[in-house]
Structure 1
C-alpha cells in the first residue's frame, strides 16, 4: 500500500510540474525510478510485476517515445518519464496507458487549435499553450512544446490504477 502512495505522489508531482513548466526535470524522473527499483527490490511492487516485466516496461517506454523525441515531436523529459513509468507498471500496462494519454493529449491539441482559430476564450488558449520562454527564464527561443504529455501519461496511469486493473 505504501508503494501505491509513493507512486501517486510521484505522478502528482510530475503532473503539476509538467502542466506548469512544460518540462519534467531529471531529478523528478530519477526519484520515481529509484523508488520503483526499491519497491521491486523489497518485494513491495504494488502491481505484482517482476524484474523482467519492469525492465521491459522501462525499455519499451523509453525506446518507443525516443523516436518521437528524435523527430522533435516530444521533449526529453516525457521520454525519460515514460521509461521510469514502465518500471512501475510493466510492459502490459503501457499500451492502455499510452492510448488514454494520447487521447487526452490529442484533445488538448485539438482544443488549442480551435481556440487559436476562434478565440472564444483567449485565457484558456494561453493556459493550453503553456508558459512563455520569458517565464522559463530562457533568453534563447526554443521549439514550443505546448502539450504536457508526461502529465497526461500520469493521469492515464491513475485511471489505469483505479479502473484498468479490475478483473
Structure 2
C-alpha cells in the first residue's frame, strides 16, 4: 500500500500545482484506499483505526476554519482529512507544521518576486494558472498557494525518509 499512497500523493501534487485545486474524485479515491489499507492492516505508517479517524477529523476540522475565513480552498480541507486517514494524528501534526512552513516560504518568495521582478517567469509559476476568463472579470477566489501539494510532498518525504522501519 506504500506505492498506492505515494502514487496518490503524486497525483495530488500534480493537480494542485497545475490547477490550484484538488478534485473530489481524487480525495475520495485516497480516502477509499486509506480505508482499505486500514481494513487489511497494510497502512504505510502502521497506525490503528483510532489514530486514523482522529487524524482525519483533526485535519478536516482544523483546516475547515481556514476555509471558513476564505484563506484556503475546500480541496485542501478535504485532502487534509483524507491524509489524516493515511498518517494518523501524531504524524499529521508534524506534516502540517512542515507543509505550512514550506507554503509560507512560497508565499514570501512570490511576494518578493512580485515586488522586485528579477525573475518574472518564476513569479508567474508561483502564482499558478490564471483564473481570468476571456471577459476579463475574475471568477471566484484566486488560490496562489497549492497547500494540498505541500501537504502531499511533506507526507511523501515523511513516509520515505522520516518514518522508515
TM class by shorter-chain length?
Answer: over 0.9
Are 2:139 and 1:141 equivalent residues in the alignment? Answer: yes
Instruction: Give me the CA root mean square deviation.
Output: 1.5
Segment drifting more, 40-49 vs 69-78: 40-49
> Which residue of structure 1 lines up, in the alignment, with residue 67 of structure 2?
69
Tell me what 1:102 maps to.
100
Q: Partner of 1:48 in structure 2?
A: 46
Structure 2's unaligned 5+ residue stretches are none
Paired residue for 1:89, among 87, 90, 93?
87
Deviations 1:123-159 (A, max 9, x none): 1111111111147xxx752211100000000011011
1:21 is aligned to 19
Report the Cα distance in structure 1 between the residues aligned to 2:7 and 2:74, rounded to whole angstroms. Answer: 21
Per the TM alignment, residue 96 of structure 1 is displaced from its structure 2 partner at its CA by 1.0
What SS does the aligned partner of 2:29 have?
Answer: helix
Structure 1: gaps spanning 5 or more residues: none
TM-score scaled by length of structure 2? 0.94
Residues in 1 aligned to 2:57 and 2:27: alpha-carbon distance in whole angstroms = 15
Matched, 1:33 2:31: yes
- Given candidates 134, 155, 158, the residue that maps to 2:156 is 158
Rounded Cα–Cα distance in structure 2 between residues aligned with 1:41 and 1:91: 18
Cα distance in 2 between the residues matched to 1:87 and 1:166:
19
**Equivalent residues in 2 for 1:97-136, closer than 5 Å:** 97-134=95-132
SS of corresponding position for 2:71: coil
Stretches of 4+ aligned residues off by more than 6 angstroms: none
The number of aligned residues is 163
